[in-house]
Structure 1
Amino acid sequence: MAFAEFDEIRLHYLDEGPLDGAPIVFAHALGTGTLLWDAILPHLPPGLRIIRYDARGHGLSSCPPAPYSMGTLVRDAERLLDHLSVRDAMFVGLSIGGMVAQGLAVKRPDLIRAMVLSNTAAKIGTPEIWASRIATARAGDMAELARASCERWFTRAFLKENRHLPWLELLTRHDPEGYIGCASAISGTDFYTPTSGLRLPTLGIAGSEDGSTPPDLLRETVDLIPGSQFQLIRRAGHVPPVDQPETYAGHLGDFLRATGHI
């Protein structure tokens, strides 16, 4: 467990594996944290330097007053990688983490040599949708947001088997201020134009039953980047590192090798 202090923010991060290993950075979905990636770690190729962090308002990172901008979230990732002296990383971003990946690739191409956009898009939802969710969080009803999120995130089979319950509890306990802050960042973000200017190896990973960022939405985003690849994981929802970890890690391993990162 480690922390990096930057002005008003204290970021919790995990830096695992050999320091001279090929760096791979993971940015998580709204309401989760570093644990989103736990199940895929045993299936990744050996020798990687694996960096995970809790976004502001999440996990063990501090939670400044909302709202946050996407530029602020991108700057947090930028400062963390500079703090760790990381360059030419593969950056894996899921949902809001995928928006951070796009923004960081535009701002600091020296930090990212290849990118995985997972269950995300250049623009997610509408301001009206996010305003409604923010209002629910302000009213203190995180349980309702958690229930609705799980219905969008997980497959019917996953829900029927009650495998979602730890995530329901996690989302219910999430700090409303952190949720509001990051939801505000998503609401104000449209990366279609900047992402269309990117020229780096990119893999899109979608879940066939993703109710938050459906496969066609992700495909539309990765198609903005010439030469990008797309993988659809069957029987997966919005967080395939949770419901299909071995398959997900397999796609990451293939992409790591195809790009010469390992």
Structure 2
Amino acid sequence: MPTLDINGLVIAYSDTGGSGQPVILGHGYFTDHTVFDAQAEFLSPQWRIIAWDARGHGNTPDSAKPYTYWDQARDALALMDHLQLRQAIVGGISQGGFIALRTALLAPDRVTALILSDTEATPCDPADKVGYGQMFQALREHGPIDDLTVPLAAQLFGEHAGHHAEDWRSRWKNGPLPLGNSALCLLERDDVSDRLHEITCPTLLMWGTEDLSLPRDRMDLLAARVATATPVHEIEGAAHTPALTHPDQVNRVMLSFLESLEIGDPAPRRRR
């Protein structure tokens, strides 16, 4: 898979290519760019779908020094520079949304629209910080044992995720886990909720109705403070990773949103 080097940091990404409007998507914690495979297949070639691995995930190694989601927003902008993209639609799930929001705040002239799923603008809730911190510590001490990965998979993908849960539990057992500075980045993220009024681009909001990681009110805050946001589109039956587990619903919502945008039409689009 292609990579780019930012001062020694190697970032891995996938790219459907083509002349369609570019859509850059970031995944949630403990997953990688492949959670968007169904969207890449469904939306290309009308849209150029670029999905990337955040630091410490997939094929992107973690950084030796601490960093923030603002730094990872700069990673997204560096990816755009690498691909010679002046502007793009930017989005993500959970931490991918944290990064997308900060990308739009850093470079509003380069983000033509936002696609946000199961994410928030507020810092890590104190109770969540304790719970996640304990989980990270347990994974460091015991590794990806079933007692830890079974509930983690249920949290991310839902109680009835089937092969998705099995696939990711296998990946966690056979690959490095994001337990270094990526965990610190997640737990210590800052609050950008007071800056949401600065976002003026069209913004799509989606949320899985069975998401136990992120309460609905955190999406409602985005809807209330981003003046150009859609109402929260509920993905029925989905947990924290709707794009992976409920692609048909997500694809329909994304297609409708993308077709509503008036940001140029570089390639013919066909109805599905």
TM-score normalized with structure 2 length? 0.87
Q: Verify the 8 A CA contact 1:207 1:237 in the aligned structure 2.
A: yes
Q: Indicate the residue corresponding to 1:196 in structure 2.
A: 197
Give the Å deviation of 1:146. 2.8
RMSD: 2.0
Partners in 2 of 1:140 and 1:206 — Cα distance?
32
Match of 2:131 among 107, 129, 132: 129
Q: Indicate the residue corresponding to 1:235 in structure 2.
A: 237
Give the Å deviation of 1:68. 3.1
Change over 3 Å in CA distance of 1:220–1:200 after alignment to 2: same
Give the Å deviation of 1:101. 0.4
Deviations 1:100-130 (A, max 9, x none): 0011100011221100110111134333333
SS in 1 for 2:105: helix
Q: Indicate the residue corresponding to 1:61 in structure 2.
A: 60
What letter corresponds to residue 237 of structure 1 in structure 2?
Answer: A
Partners in 2 of 1:194 and 1:170 — Cα distance?
37
Q: Indicate the residue corresponding to 2:270 in structure 1.
A: none
Paired residues for 1:187-226 under 5 Å: 187-189=187-189, 190-226=191-227
What letter corresponds to residue 166 of structure 2 in structure 1?
Answer: L
Question: Identity over aligned residues, as a percent?
Answer: 26
Change over 3 Å in CA distance of 1:142–1:8 after alignment to 2: farther
SS in 2 for 1:204: strand
What letter corresponds to residue 166 of structure 1 in structure 2?
Answer: D
| Pair 1:156 & 2:159 matched | yes
Which consecutive aligned stretches of 4+ in structure 1 deviate over 6 angstroms post-superposition? none
What letter corresponds to residue 150 of structure 1 in structure 2?
Answer: A
What letter corresponds to residue 251 of structure 2 in structure 1?
Answer: A
Which is worse superposed, 79-88 or 64-73? 64-73
For structure 1, the residue ranges without an aligned partner over 5 or more in a row are: none
Give the Å deviation of 1:252. 0.7
| Pair 1:182 & 2:182 matched | yes
Give the Å deviation of 1:66. 5.8
Q: Verify the 8 A CA contact 1:24 1:92 in the aligned structure 2.
A: yes
Give the Å deviation of 1:165. 0.8
Partners in 1 of 2:109 and 2:172 — Cα distance?
34
Q: Indicate the residue corresponding to 1:41 in structure 2.
A: 40
Partners in 2 of 1:149 and 1:66 — Cα distance?
27
Give the Å deviation of 1:2. 1.0
